[in-house]
Amino acid sequence: MKTSALTLVLTGSLLLTAACQPPSAGTPKAVVAPPAVPVQVAVARQADVPRVIESVGAIQALRSVAVKSQVDGMIAQIHFKEGDEVKAGDLLVTLDRRPFENSLRIVRADLANVRAEAAKATADLERYLQLSQQDAVSKELLAQLNTKTETTRAQVQAKEAAVANAELLLGYTQIRAPIAGRTGQLVLHEGALVKANDVSQSIVAINQLAPIAAAFAVPERALNEIRAALQRGDAVVTVTDRASGLSRSDGRLSFFDNAVDATTGTITLKATFANADLALWPGQFVQVQTRTGIDRGAIVVPTAAVQTGQASTQVFIVRPNRTIEIRPVQVLRTSGDDSLLAGGVQAGETVVTDGHLRLLPNSTVEPKNLAAFTGETPKPAAPKS
């Protein structure tokens, strides 16, 4: 028993001594791989990307008229309600007709009087002309009669013009809509006195709402591109209400200003929209997109994937084994949050969009967006029991 115990003690001492000795120079060391770098990724895609010029615009009525009276008078009756849709020629306001009717009666009476005088002068001249053939009338008398006849004829013409003017003024007591559109706020009501062509006040304003226009300004450098697209038939204008998100894409360029604003370096354009549903409203501010063409089959990556290197712009490609390859690329242009590349990346390749600072060539990564990297849809976690 003592021999066995001694043997166990000696064996334990030898094992402890061997464990405490350093490894020999010929023993290989274990290699510890650096941890994978977590990154966000996206997949490059091939798409048809429109070329769009962004700007801010305002909706304007194609035609807007301030309705005013053409004669002095008192409003007798209003024939519409505020906000009504009216057609051109619809009766809007009636003024008190009585003063104009009385004026018309007076000038008609004057016309009848001078017509009677003209008829008598003409009859006298014809009678004395017959007597002059018998040398029974002096030439001086004939001249006087002829002058009187011409004078009364001129008076008849003057009175006829006065009657026509009085009838015109009487017609102005009925104020009609000059255009089709929607009426605004009624400024004057029954009993109010109006002045002819009052520059300081109108009765109501009418705005044409369909069709309607959007006015916006684009940089001077975009003018030639837009004009070329208009000639090709590719120019499409879309407006979006910044509050509601409502969008209309049936805009047709209808106006180019005749000069570039030297202060801002922009030029004003207008696009016309059918606006049959009256979704666009005068004075409304909208986001305007003018499409001048489409880049077909372009390679598109998120703009966040494009980094600025020492020599050029570059992207970080994730290989199938989850290691990194750095490739130089050339950006053609940006569109929203995307960049269009001129080669360097193929559709379907995975690019890093976040986490670039810790990456080197051949670094191992751990994509956070596994669905974008593997092409698989993540399965929902099983509910805990």
Q: How far apart are CA 269 and CA 230, in angstroms?
A: 12
pLDDT of residue 309: 85
Q: How far apart are CA 233 and CA 226, in angstroms?
A: 10
Within 10 angstroms of residue 65's Cβ, the number of other Cβ atoms is: 16
Residue from 165, 210, 182 nearest 67 by CA:
182
Residue from 307, 320, 303 nearest 356 by CA:
307
- Sorted by sequence, the CB contacts under 8 Å of residue 192 that are 6+ apart come out as 74, 75
pLDDT of residue 15: 41
pLDDT of residue 375: 40
Within 10 angstroms of residue 35's Cβ, the number of other Cβ atoms is: 8
Instruction: State residue 54 phi and psi, 5-degree precision.
Output: -90, 140
Q: How far apart are CA 145 and CA 126, in angstroms?
A: 9
Residue from 76, 55, 354 nearest 203 by CA:
76
pLDDT of residue 32: 64
Length, in residues, of the chain: 385
pLDDT of residue 136: 67
Residue from 234, 179, 193, 229 nearest 63 by CA:
179
Residue 300 tokens read as 């598109």
Cα 340 to chain centroid distance, Å, stands at: 26
pLDDT of residue 18: 44
Residue from 205, 213, 286 nearest 60 by CA:
213
> Are 50 and 377 within 8 A, CB to CB?
no
Within 10 angstroms of residue 265's Cβ, the number of other Cβ atoms is: 11
Q: Does the N-terminal peptide bond of residue 282 adopt cis geometry, omega within 30 degrees of 0?
A: no
pLDDT of residue 204: 96
> Are 216 and 256 within 8 A, CB to CB?
no
Q: How far apart are CA 376 and CA 199, in angstroms?
A: 71
pLDDT of residue 31: 56
Ordered mean pLDDT values, 10 residues apiece, the chain (385 residues) = 41 44 53 81 94 94 95 97 96 97 97 95 85 75 88 95 97 97 95 93 95 96 93 92 89 93 95 93 94 93 92 92 93 90 92 91 82 42 41
Residue 203 tokens read as 């009765």
pLDDT of residue 29: 57
Residue from 80, 74, 75 nearest 92 by CA:
80
Q: How far apart are CA 163 and CA 167, in angstroms?
A: 6
Residue 203, amino acid? I
pLDDT of residue 13: 46
What is the edge-to-edge ordering of all strands in the sheet holding 85-86?
A: 64-67, 204-207, 181-183, 85-86
Nearest 10 degrees: CA dihedral of 347, 349, 352, 358?
-140
Domains of the chain are 38-49+297-374 (2.40.420.20), 51-63+209-295 (2.40.30.170), 64-93+176-207 (2.40.50.100), 97-172 (1.10.287.470)
- Sorted by sequence, the CB contacts under 8 Å of residue 348 that are 6+ apart come out as 43, 44, 45
> Are 273 and 211 within 8 A, CB to CB?
yes
Going through 81-210 in order, the beta strands assigned E by DSSP cover 85-86, 91-95, 174-176, 181-183, 193-194, 204-207
- Strands 365-367 and 37-43, how do they pair? parallel
Instruction: State residue 353 phi and psi, 5-degree precision.
Output: -110, -15
DSSP one-letter code for 156: H
pLDDT of residue 54: 92
Task: Let me know the angle formed at the C-alpha of 158 by 157 and 159, rounded to the nearest 5 degrees.
Answer: 90
